[in-house]
Structure 1
Amino acid sequence: MKFLNNDYSFRELGPIKADPEYLENAEYIDFAGFNSSDYDWWLIERTATTPEEQEITESVPYMQGEYDFSMYDQERFFKIRELTYKFVYFGKVYQDRKAYEEELKRQLLPHGFTKLIDSHDPVYYWSAKCTSVEVEDDQEKGMLTATITFKAYPFAYTNHNEGTDYWDDVAFDHWIWQPVKFNVNGDQDVNVKNIGSRPVECSFQLTGSVTLKNDSIGEVGLTQDNFKTTTIVLEMGDNKMHLSGNGTIEFQFKREEMI
Structure 2
Amino acid sequence: MIDKDYFKNVGFEVEEESFTFGEYNSMDNRMFMANREAPTPSEREIVESVPYMQGVYDFSQLNGGERYFDNREITYQVMLFEQDYPTRKYAEKEIKRQLMPLGIQPLYDSHDNGCHWLGKCKSVTVDDDAEKGTLACTVVFDCYPFAISNDDAGADIWDNVYFPQWFFQTTEYRVDDKTEINLYNWGSRAVHCSIDVSGNVTITGDFGEIALSQGHYQDTQMVLAVGNNKMSMDGRAVVKFGFYVEVMY
Query: Given the two structures, how large is their TM-score scaled by the length of structure 2?
Result: 0.91
Is the counterpart of residue 183 in structure 1 residue 174 in structure 2?
yes
- 8 Å contact kept, 1:91–1:97: no
Moved more, 20-29 or 92-101: 20-29
- Specify which of 92, 111, 116 is matched with residue 107 of structure 2: 116
CA RMSD in angstroms, aligned pairs only = 1.7
Larger Rg: 1
Which whole-Å CA distance do the structure 2 matches of 1:212 and 1:55 have between them?
A: 35
Cα deviation for residue 228 of structure 1 reads 5.1
Q: Spell out the pairing of 1:73-152 with structure 2 (5 A cutoff).
A: 73-152=64-143
Which whole-Å CA distance do the structure 2 matches of 1:57 and 1:249 have between them?
A: 43
Which whole-Å CA distance do the structure 1 matches of 2:215 and 2:114 have between them?
A: 34
- 8 Å contact kept, 2:207–2:221: no
State the match for 2:51 in structure 1.
61
- The structure-2 alpha-carbon separation of the partners of 1:110 and 1:137, relative to structure 1 and needing over 3 Å to count, comes to same
Runs of 4+ with >6 A deviation: none
Which whole-Å CA distance do the structure 1 matches of 2:93 and 2:54 have between them?
A: 55
- 8 Å contact kept, 2:116–2:149: yes
Which whole-Å CA distance do the structure 1 matches of 2:152 and 2:190 have between them?
A: 15
Letter of the aligned partner of 1:209 in structure 2? Answer: N
Letter of the aligned partner of 1:181 in structure 2? Answer: E
Q: Spell out the pairing of 1:163-174 with structure 2 (5 A cutoff).
A: 163-174=154-165
Moved more, 229-238 or 101-110: 229-238
Alpha-carbon deviations, 1:125-160, whole Å to 9, x = none?
Answer: 000110000000000000000000001100000110
- 8 Å contact kept, 2:38–2:74: yes
SS at match of 1:157: strand
Moved more, 230-239 or 110-119: 230-239
Cα deviation for residue 37 of structure 1 reads 0.9
Alpha-carbon deviations, 1:171-219, whole Å to 9, x = none?
Answer: 22222111111010011111111121110010012211221012x3221
Is the counterpart of residue 52 in structure 1 residue 46 in structure 2?
no
- 8 Å contact kept, 1:85–1:148: yes
State the match for 1:236 in structure 2.
226
Letter of the aligned partner of 2:81 in structure 1? Answer: F
Q: Spell out the pairing of 1:177-256 with structure 2 (5 A cutoff).
A: 177-214=168-205, 216-225=206-215, 227=217, 230=220, 232-256=222-246
Which whole-Å CA distance do the structure 1 matches of 2:2 and 2:79 have between them?
A: 19
- 8 Å contact kept, 2:175–2:233: yes
- 8 Å contact kept, 1:193–1:238: yes
Which whole-Å CA distance do the structure 2 matches of 1:85 and 1:202 have between them?
A: 33
Which whole-Å CA distance do the structure 2 matches of 1:113 and 1:211 have between them?
A: 37
Q: Which runs of 5+ in 2 are unaligned?
A: 5-13
Q: Which runs of 5+ in 1 are unaligned?
A: 1-19
Query: Given the two structures, how large is their TM-score scaled by the length of structure 1?
Result: 0.88
Identity of aligned residues (%): 43
- 8 Å contact kept, 1:203–1:231: no
State the match for 2:9 in structure 1.
none
Moved more, 163-172 or 179-188: 163-172
Alpha-carbon deviations, 1:68-110, whole Å to 9, x = none?
Answer: 1111211000000010000001243211111110111001000
Which whole-Å CA distance do the structure 2 matches of 1:146 and 1:240 have between them?
A: 49
State the match for 2:151 in structure 1.
160
